[in-house]
Amino acid sequence: MRQLFLAIFGFLACSACQGQQTSPKESEATRAEPQRAQEAPLPEWLTALIKQQPANSIEESVYQGKRAYLIMPADRNPDSGNEHILYSGDGHIICEFGGLAGHVTVGSCDMNGIKFVQTLHPSGAS
């Protein structure tokens, strides 16, 4: 009985480790995005926002197949409930989220759909 339990537990643990399968087109686009991202300059609105409001971190991301930016402003406390702001490539706020449970507090977005590309401004860097 114990061996059966361990076998089932092991199977479930291994199957949980396997990520969602992506289509070849999506996978290819996600791999190509970092290369394109390094070549592209920052949008003017993002450069102005950085000068106006310091940020703990700025990450370039892909959301719903489009370029996006995930920003953690320095004036928001960790786990405050809306410490992350996801901006579209043209500077519009898609959503704000955070807290211990990671709830969306402003706007609407699927946090699992945010794909990291690169860190543009690491936390603590000057």
Residue 8 CB burial class (10 angstroms; 0-12, 13-18, ≥19):
exposed
Mean pLDDT of the residues in the chain: 75
Determine the average pLDDT of the residues in 87-105: 89
CA distances from 111 to 7, 59, 78 (A): 33, 14, 17
Q: Residue 126 pLDDT > 60, yes or no?
A: no
Characterize 68-84 residue by residue with b for buried, 16 or more Cβ atoms within 10 angstroms of its Cβ, and e for exposed. bbbbbbeebeeeebbbb
Cβ atoms 74, 54 nearer than 8 A: yes
Torsion of CA 77, 114, 125, 52, to 10 degrees: -70
Determine the average pLDDT of the residues in 6-31: 50
For residue 94, name the pLDDT band (cuts at 50, 70, 90): very high
Q: Residue 117 pLDDT > 90, yes or no?
A: yes
pLDDT tens per residue, range 31-88? 544 444 455 678 999 888 888 887 888 999 999 999 999 998 888 877 777 789 999 9
Cβ atoms 53, 111 nearer than 8 A: no
pLDDT at 42: 82
Q: Residue 101 pLDDT > 60, yes or no?
A: yes
CA distances from 101 to 4, 81, 98 (A): 34, 9, 7
For residue 91, name the pLDDT band (cuts at 50, 70, 90): very high
Amino acid at site 85: I
User: For residue 40, how far is the Cα from the chain centroid?
Assistant: 19
pLDDT at 17: 47
